[in-house]
Amino acid sequence: MRAVFTKELLDNFRDRRVIINTLILGPLMGPVIFALMISFMTRQATERMEAPLELPVVGAEHAAQLIAFLERQGVEILDPPDNPEQAVRDETHEVIVRIGPEFAEHWREGRPAPVEIIADQSLRYTGASIARVRGYLSAWSQQISQARLQLRGVHPDVVRPVFATVTDLSTPESRGGMLLAFLPYFILITVFMGSMHMAIDTTAGERERKSLEPLLINPMPRWQIMAGKLAATTFFALATLGLGLVAFVYAMGFLPVADMDMALNLDFRVAAWAFLLVAPAALLAAALLTILASFAKSFREAQSYMGMVIIVPMIPSLWMLVDPARAETWMTLVPLLSQNVLILELVRGEPINLAWVGLSLASTTAVALLLALIAATLYNRPRLIFTSA
């Protein structure tokens, strides 16, 4: 078994393409994409919040006071386009405010004066602008209503029976955790990427080179040959995982998180825990991909199966993203989901729940060993040995 392990490592280390792809590009890809994505997102968000709001107003002449208020708030009032609805649909403007001629009349009579906000709420990026317009309008509305009440000798608090505040208990770490929601996916994908090439090369590749038949003639139980191959594949997966985590720690250091009042809790201590958590998943990935690749007759055929498998580690991450549920014990029993949940807890800076870590390690190892056992029996099937049989 050791002989197979060392040979597979030597064989694959000789291939410069493999080394560059799996040990350099693979681990770097995640952190780089992730860091770029986050810094882009945050920069966009701050720019959007801080840039002066440009607001075309239809019928500005009907509400001179409101316009003056908006201008005092720093809003840049623009001349309206001829067809406001069309302009929003064309995305030339995000938000347009329309003040009808009846505004002045309603205003004088003390009835609610209509203001129309024209926007397409299905466009996600307009959300912030709409919220800002609403905010200005309600601030003005409140100002006027207080003035009107005081004019009639009523204390404004009379119409404010409840005073609600939010005490935010989030910490910079936990807010940073929100930002890292997709981190588990990027970590899990590295073990799949890392084991992919080896899994194919040691099985389908061996068949393509027609070297499997002579190999199996050696006096060695077939499960041992498979075990050596699996060990080499797992080793590669772990190496990719380790390198990937180190790259993540460094990449996160480049993010302007302090500006956002957040802290990214991803230092080497957290990375070490993440490595421990994901290590059984490396064996799982190696065994799963090896099983699949064993059925393929050639490299190319095996690669076509792999595309589908890469989706597997995505499922729990996407699910957590769509339906952010609280971490519960049963989740730690589901391989891949448990790594997701626990890594998120880690980066939020929560205390480590050792029982959960234990459950996650045990359940993932159990499933991984089961897959490895299945893989070990594969070479007892003649169909998988001969290229043409």
Partner 1 sequence: MIEANGLRKTFNKGRVVAVDDVSFTARDGQITGLLGPNGAGKTTTMRMLYTLLRPDAGSMRVDGIDPEVEALKVKRALGVVPDSRGLYDRLTARENIRYYGDLQGLDRRTTAARIDQLVDVLDMGEFIDRRTDGFSQGQRVKVAIARALIHEPRTVLLDEPSNGLDVMTTRALREFLRHLRSQGRCVVLSTHIMQEVAALCDRIVIIADGRVAAEGTADELLQRSGEKNLEDAFVRLIGTDEGLLA
**Residues at the site binding partner 1, with contacts judged by CB under 8 A:** 2-4, 6-7, 10-12, 14-15, 206, 209-221, 382, 385-387, 389
Rounded least distance, CB 204 to partner 1, Å? 14
Nearer to partner 1, 52 or 214 (CB): 214
The residue among 101 and 382 lying less far from partner 1, judged by its C-beta, is 382
CB of residue 217 to partner 1, shortest distance in Å? 5
Min separation Cβ 289 and partner 1, Å: 21
Closest distance between partner 1 and the C-beta of residue 287, in Å? 22
**Which residue, 209 or 300, has its beta carbon nearer to partner 1?**
209
Nearer to partner 1, 213 or 267 (CB): 213
- 3-state secondary structure string, the chain? CHHHHHHHHHHHHCCHHHHHHHHHHHHHHHHHHHHHHHHHHHHHHHHHHHCCCEEEEECHHHCHHHHHHHHHCCCEEECCCCCHHHHHHCCCCCEEEEECCHHHHHHHHCCCCCEEEEECCCCHHHHHHHHHHHHHHHHHHHHHHHHHHHHCCCCHHHHCCCCCCCCCCCCHHHHHHHHCCCHHHHHHHHHHHHHHHHHHHHCHHHHHCCCHHHHHCCCCCHHHHHHHHHHHHHHHHHHHHHHHHHHHHHHHHCCCCHHHCCCCCCCHHHHHHHHHHHHHHHHHHHHHHHHHHHCCCCHHHHHHHHHHHCCCCHHHHHHHHHCCCCCCHHHHHCCCHHHHHHHHHHHCCCCCCHHHHHHHHHHHHHHHHHHHHHHHHHHHCHHHCCCCC
Q: How far is the CB of 299 from partner 1 (least distance, A)?
A: 13
What is the nearest approach in angstroms of partner 1 to the Cβ of residue 199? 17
- If the CB atoms of residues 54 and 213 are measured against partner 1, the closer one turns out to be 213
User: Looking at beta carbons only, is 19 or 29 nearer to partner 1?
Assistant: 19
Query: With respect to partner 1, which residue has the nearer C-beta, 130 or 215?
Result: 215
Q: How far is the CB of 384 from partner 1 (least distance, A)?
A: 11
